[in-house]
Amino acid sequence: MNHPAFLLTAIAALTCLNGCAADRSMTAPGQRTSGEDAAHEERMGWWRDARFGMFIHWGLYAIPAGEWPGKGSRHAEWIRDTAQIPVAEYEKLLTRFNPVKFDADKWVAMAHDAGVRYLVITSKHHDGFCLFDSAQTDWDVMSTPFRRDIMKELSDACKRDGVVRFAMYHSIMDWHHPDYLPRRPWEKAQRPEAGADFDRFVTYLKNQLAEITAPKYDPGLIWFDGEWEGTWTHERGTDLHAYMRRIAPEVIVNNRIDKGRAGMEGETKGAGFLGDYHTPEQTIPERGLPGDWETCMTMNGNWGYNAADKDFKSSQDLIRKLCDIASKGGNFLLNVGPTSEGEFPPESVRLLHEMGVWMRLNGESIYSTQRGPLTQQPAWGRVTMRKTPGGARLYLHVFDPPGDGQLLLPGLLNTATAVSLIQSPTASVIPAITTRNTPEGLVVDVSGVAAGALVNTGPVVVYRLDIKGEPDVSIPPEITAPGEVFVTSLPVSIATARRNVVVRYTVDGSEPTASSAAASGTLNLTTTTTIKARGFRGAEPVSATTARTFTKQAARPAALAVLPASARPGLKAQYYQGDFNTLPDFASLKPAKTGVAAAITLAGVPFDDFYAVVYTGWVFIPRDDAYYFNLGSDDGSRLFIGGQLVIDNDGLHSLTTRSAAAPLAKGWHPIRVEMFEKSGGADLALTVSTPGAKPETIPVKSLAHEP
């Protein structure tokens, strides 16, 4: 990785400190050719139309149903790792897998009834067990008492159904294969890595992918996962992607085939990373994501079956999530974890049926729609869209009906040509609905829609709204700057994506008018300033006002100009064991182990779960400036600079990144990073940038500690 200039200065300042690893650059592959773009568009067509899919996590882990002797009942598909079950012990589950109640046609029928348009099931999860007949291994369903090719039966059932498309989830990570690396930290002593050949594992992986993409199964999509471990690199992802395009050019692959996924947020970050779509997990992006994306989510708290987990979402919540995702141009992949006998849990069956009732009435507002045209989500719900000859049809999904019955579509300037309620055949009244244009946007008046018209339309009522012409939406101007805090000066630009609009602005906090200055070029701020900007067509405002305040701050002085001769590279690391839900009071705890960390990562942590770590020392700041820190962790973390809290990212959560700015003077500043991990996935990363520069990790030569 190439370091920005401000970090190279820090490297030069630390040439007196020894033992630093050489920096390496990564070359990204080229972007898609026009032919590749055309192939991508063609294979994505059915998936974009579908909008709603079913995820199924099923395997040997359904047998213990979340519980393992002496290890509690909070496990699921990760049970081999979270309960630390040796391979030989886990293999005993093979003789107990006999899901005699499994019925592929019944599963597909439930998916169809729910309004699902594609089904993604685990052909192989991280435990390596395969639900298909694989010539590559005996660690598959044909070695169980069941001895039936579950993937083949589901593929055939989907073909008979004719609506639900068959697809598979296939994990790159494989805890069972003797050549997969790395081993789980807790099993390395009993299952050493010596003799393992990861290249040989990749050959095995490719051979299995050739098996499951053959006409026998004919999947429309392979949902990759388990790519986050260090053995899977961008180069390996590029190679596997090329392999998939050779053997199955029409099969969709997600971004987890490569290394570009940004944690649970799922967005592919950085040029050159591959995959057909982004994969946010258990979260819905606030504004959607660029291009194709899909949120995968559980109905309760687990992917695989956990008999004790009864914390199911409501059908109203799930339907709202589906509408929210579709309104942002995404797909919703909703998970079911079947029992070891081969049945969907009754709670899942009920929720799927209730969603299906709603979808049979309102499916037109979800299938084959695009993200809504509004730049601001309505307070009352969400909007999806279909293009029509000469205009567009908008679907208004009403979550929280306003008391006055006025559905404002913020900033929409088009004229309505028709409006109607999507009604149940049992409704007794066809309501009168009117529209009007206002300076704030188009308003749909549904105050006259009575209960008789709304029979069986819940839990989300949907209105059709036809408009004339391309959507003409008021877009507030964008005020763009490298940050909101600066030390000396800050460049700021003001612009709009709207056609035929002039942006006018003020720098004294007053409201822009038709006579205010027109935005042109870049403003260079040297004092604390509040900028307000608004779009105009002639003398008429056609957007809301955008406002941002930029604050000039004095740089905090450094603690040291020069390090003491006794300083050493890296940070002091203290590792603690405990079952934490928040960051503890470390002063009251005794570390279980200490060491030196070359970087702020979890690379040297000696524990797998239930631990906390504290890194302390100094960080070199090469010049007076505002420094923007980004701290990501799973679970909680905090960053202190010079004894002051800069970022608080505490609490139990999946990978979450928080950012903050600190104005710092040149020199060495005390730094402290705290983090705790309960169980499951674990991540820790700290990046920093100055205004206008890309965030980068802090190199070891910019970190020091006193032994």
Q: What is the pLDDT of residue 119?
A: 98
Identify residue 482 by its one-letter amino acid code: P
Element (H, E) at 333: strand 331-336
Whether 270 has a pLDDT exceeding 90, the answer reads no
Whether 309 has a pLDDT exceeding 90, the answer reads yes
pLDDT grade for 22, boundaries at 50, 70 and 90? very low
Whether 10 has a pLDDT exceeding 60, the answer reads no
Whether 630 has a pLDDT exceeding 70, the answer reads yes
Identify residue 357 by its one-letter amino acid code: V
Q: Is residue 31 part of a domain?
A: no
The Cα 235–Cα 27 span in angstroms is 10
Whether 20 has a pLDDT exceeding 70, the answer reads no
Q: Is residue 159 part of a domain?
A: yes
Pairing of strands 637-641, 571-577: unpaired
Pairing of strands 294-298, 331-336: parallel
Number of helices (H) and strands (E) in the chain: give both, helices first: 10, 36
In contact, 374 and 383? CB cutoff 8 Å: yes
Among candidate residues 229, 257, 262, 227, the one with its CA nearest the CA of residue 243: 257
Q: Is residue 30 part of a domain?
A: no
Among candidate residues 371, 460, 465, 457, the one with its CA nearest the CA of residue 418: 465
For the chain, the residue count is 707
Kindly report the CATH number assigned to the domain that includes residue 254. 3.20.20.80
Kindly report the CATH number assigned to the domain that includes residue 572. 2.60.120.1560
Q: Is residue 29 part of a domain?
A: no
Give tens-digit pLDDT for 547-590: 999 999 999 999 999 999 999 999 999 999 999 999 999 999 99
Whether 322 has a pLDDT exceeding 50, the answer reads yes
Q: Is residue 58 part of a domain?
A: yes
Give tens-digit pLDDT for 25-41: 222 223 456 677 889 99
Q: Supply the pTM of this predicted model.
A: 0.78
Kindly report the CATH number assigned to the domain that includes residue 456. 2.60.40.1180
What would the mean pLDDT of 341-370 be, rounded to a whole number?
98
Kindly report the CATH number assigned to the domain that includes residue 520. 2.60.40
pLDDT grade for 280, boundaries at 50, 70 and 90? very high
Q: Which residues pair with 384 in a beta bridge?
A: 371, 395
Q: Is residue 181 part of a domain?
A: yes
Whether 9 has a pLDDT exceeding 50, the answer reads no
Q: What is the pLDDT of residue 96?
A: 98
Give tens-digit pLDDT for 85-105: 999 999 999 999 999 999 999
What would the mean pLDDT of 274-289 be, rounded to a whole number?
96
Tell me the three state secondary structure of residue 521: coil
In a shared domain, residues 584 and 546: no
Q: Out of 493, 521, 552, pick the residue that ends a domain.
A: 552
In a shared domain, residues 86 and 228: yes
In a shared domain, residues 347 and 379: no
In a shared domain, residues 162 and 271: yes
In a shared domain, residues 522 and 565: no
Give 34-53 as a DSSP string. HHHHHHHHHHHHHHHHH-EE
Tell me the percentage of the chain whose pLDDT exceeds 70.
Answer: 95
Q: At what angle do helices 315-327 and 346-362 cross, to 10 degrees?
A: 50
* Side-chain half-sphere exposure of 645, counting CA atoms within 13 A: 8
The Cα 473–Cα 420 span in angstroms is 21
In a shared domain, residues 416 and 518: no
The Cα 654–Cα 579 span in angstroms is 16
In a shared domain, residues 75 and 220: yes
Q: What is the pLDDT of residue 33?
A: 62
Q: Out of 502, 528, 552, pick the residue that ends a domain.
A: 552
Q: What is the pLDDT of residue 17?
A: 35
Count CB atoms within 10 A of the CB of residue 404: 9
pLDDT grade for 271, boundaries at 50, 70 and 90? confident
Whether 2 has a pLDDT exceeding 50, the answer reads no
In a shared domain, residues 404 and 533: no
b/e per residue, 638-660, with b = 16+ CB within 10 A? bbbbbeeebbebbeeebbbbbbb
What would the mean pLDDT of 597-607 be, rounded to a whole number?
92
Count CB atoms within 10 A of the CB of residue 696: 15
What would the mean pLDDT of 208-228 be, rounded to a whole number?
97
Q: Is residue 53 part of a domain?
A: yes
Number of domains in the chain: 4
Mean pLDDT of the chain: 92
Q: Out of 439, 468, 497, pick the residue that ends a domain.
A: 468
Give tens-digit pLDDT for 409-451: 998 989 999 999 999 999 989 999 999 998 789 999 999 999 9
In a shared domain, residues 409 and 423: yes
Query: How deeply is 375 buried, as exposed, middle or buried, from its count of CB atoms within 10 A (0-12, 13-18, 19+)?
Result: middle
Count CB atoms within 10 A of the CB of residue 100: 9
Query: How deeply is 30 buried, as exposed, middle or buried, from its count of CB atoms within 10 A (0-12, 13-18, 19+)?
Result: exposed
Give 168-210 as a DSSP string. EEEES--SSSTT-SSPPGGGTTTS--TT--HHHHHHHHHHHHH
In a shared domain, residues 279 and 336: yes
In a shared domain, residues 222 and 358: yes
Q: What is the pLDDT of residue 34?
A: 66
Whether 18 has a pLDDT exceeding 70, the answer reads no
Q: Is residue 184 part of a domain?
A: yes
Instruction: Report residue 547: phi and psi, to 5°.
Output: -135, 140
Q: What is the pLDDT of residue 32?
A: 55
Count CB atoms within 10 A of the CB of residue 530: 14
Identify residue 40 by its one-letter amino acid code: H
What would the mean pLDDT of 65-75 be, rounded to a whole number?
97
What would the mean pLDDT of 597-610 be, rounded to a whole number?
91
Give 55-69 as a DSSP string. EE--SGGGTTTT--T
In a shared domain, residues 487 and 383: no
Phi-psi region of 202 (alpha: psi -120 to 50; beta: other; left: phi over 0): alpha
Whether 381 has a pLDDT exceeding 80, the answer reads yes
| Domain encompassing residue 683 | 5-23+557-705
Whether 1 has a pLDDT exceeding 60, the answer reads no
